[in-house]
């Protein structure tokens, strides 16, 4: 039961949820800044890199391909930069689809049963001892739980196989040289 150090990242330019599961304790935080543009990106990248040091695996939420809006390119660029920064620093990561994150705690990968507030509430029920002040932090805890299963060191109790069977096909990205 969690001999590893696992992190979950719910990436966002406005707020990035971070969950760190180490030695059976899950700590969360919401990373926010008032900085804009390149200064914001640099701050977030540096903060994420620092937080990820020493973790055996980082679970990152993948991009929502159905997302719309003017900032979608900024979010995609930020997502790539985070993965690049982790790779450059020999920090292994796995990308987890948003539908998998939702299904892991609600049993549904989308639709009305997987709305943000319902996913947050399900995470609070699953890990009642963990402080999750925002849905970003709750998402990060879920991502860390999935990453721990990918790493074969789960920290949550047994759940219905349909809720986590996709972890068998997830690939850990590691820099070897």
- Domains annotated for the chain, with CATH where assigned, are 5-169 (3.30.420.10)
Q: Rounded distance, CA 69 to CA 173, Å? A: 29
Residue 68's pLDDT is: 67
Tokens of 11: 């990436």
pLDDT bin (cut points 50, 70, 90) of residue 66 is: low
**Dist. CA 100–CA 110, nearest whole Å:** 9
**What is d(CA 33, CA 41) in angstroms, rounded to the nearest whole number?**
10
> Could you tell me if 13 and 78 are in contact, meaning their C-beta atoms sit under 8 angstroms apart?
yes
Give this prediction's pTM.
0.92
Burial 70-100 (b: 16+ CB within 10 A, else e): eeeeebeebbebbbebbeeeebbbbbbbbeb
Rounded Cα distance, 11 and 47, in Å = 12
Q: What is the number of other CB atoms lying within 10 angstroms of the CB of residue 120? A: 20
Between CA 17 and CA 133 the distance in angstroms is 10
Q: What is the pLDDT of residues 21-51, one digit of tens each?
A: 998 799 999 999 999 999 999 999 999 999 9
Tell me the H-state helices in the chain: 37-52, 72-88, 98-106, 116-126, 135-150, 161-164
164 or 71, greater pLDDT: 71
pLDDT, tens digit, 9 for 90 and up, residues 68-123:
667 788 899 999 999 999 999 999 999 999 989 988 888 887 888 778 899 999 99
């Amino acid at each position: 039961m969690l001999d590893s150090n696992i992190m979950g990242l719910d990436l966002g330019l406005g707020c990035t949820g971070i969950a760190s599961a180490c030695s059976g304790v899950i700590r969360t935080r919401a990373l926010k800044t008032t900085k804009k543009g390149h200064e914001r990106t640099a701050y977030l990248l540096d903060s994420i890199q620092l937080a990820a040091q020493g973790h055996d695996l980082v679970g990152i939420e993948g991009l929502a391909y159905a997302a719309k809006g003017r900032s979608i390119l900024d979010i995609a660029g930020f997502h790539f930069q985070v993965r690049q920064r982790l790779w450059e620093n020999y920090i292994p990561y796995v990308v987890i689809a948003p539908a998998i994150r939702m299904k892991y705690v609600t049993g549904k990968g989308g639709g009305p049963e997987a709305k943000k507030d319902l996913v947050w509430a399900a995470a609070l029920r699953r890990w009642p001892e963990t402080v999750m002040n925002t849905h970003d932090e709750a998402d990060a805890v879920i991502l860390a739980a999935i990453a721990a299963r990918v790493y074969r060191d789960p920290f949550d109790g047994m759940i219905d196989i349909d809720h986590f069977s996709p972890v068998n096909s997830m690939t850990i990205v590691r820099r070897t040289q």
